[in-house]
Copies of this chain bind each other. A is one copy, B any other.
Amino acid sequence: MTGTGQARKPDATPTLLTGIPERDVNSILEAATPTKLLPNRMILTGGEQATHVFMLKTGIVKYYRLTHTGDEVLFGWLVPGNVFGLASLLSSPVAYLGSAMAITECQLYVWERDRMRKLAQTYPQLAENSFRVVLKYLTALADRHAGLISLSAEQRLADALLELGRRTGQVHSAGVEVEITNEQLGDLAHTTSFTASRLLSRWKRAGALSKKRGKVIIHTPESLVSD
């Protein structure tokens, strides 16, 4: 039992460049190709050989997988700073485990596989950070999985909405404004747009939020939390 030092922040969102000195960060970013994408563009496709590493600079990306029946299984939304395509780092080639698609207009850093592998040798912190990021995704997916099993559609929807507010919400005088459709929200919470509509209506009636087409304004996040 290592009686380690002090309480650190619970989860200080580690990313690829955490703990790397600024001049090295610059070298690393310069080795990437900056790319701009329109909404609905595919970025990578699950099952294809991993050839690039991506870091999202601006915009929102959805990471998902298609089942053999064609249903979409959403793993989560990626926001600026998030890194994906890390399977490329392995010495022997592996497939991407899911597909990534731009939801909004996006700017990305894109590294070619060999380039990134060399960088990871030059800057070992990069390798460690990659490992940490993959572990973080594993934890996130574990959370998502546990939630799907043990929470009701209502709780999942509330969680999805609150996390969206935290990650992509615009703070407004009347509350936090989130740009999302019922259908997207349903996907995030693993339910249908119908269920999403019913629950949102209920919360609206309770005064916890208000709705516009493609938009939700959360007035009282607390009132979504429990029950």
Contact = CB atoms under 8 A, between A and B. Distances in A.
A128 interface: yes
Interface in A109-146: 113, 127-128, 130-132, 134-135, 137-139, 141-142, 144-146
A4 B97 contact: no
A-B pairs, 6 with minimum CB distance: A67-B150, A73-B146, A97-B139, A71-B150, A138-B138, A145-B145
A142 B142 contact: no
Interface residues of A, number: 42
A146 B72 CA distance: 9
Interface string A84-103: 00110111111001100000
A65 interface: yes
Nearest to A91: B128
Contacts of A148: 145, 148-149
A165 to B, nearest CB: 21
A69 interface: yes
Given A91-B128, A134-B138, A146 B67 contact: yes
A149 B144 CA distance: 12
B135 A135 contact: no
A1 interface: yes
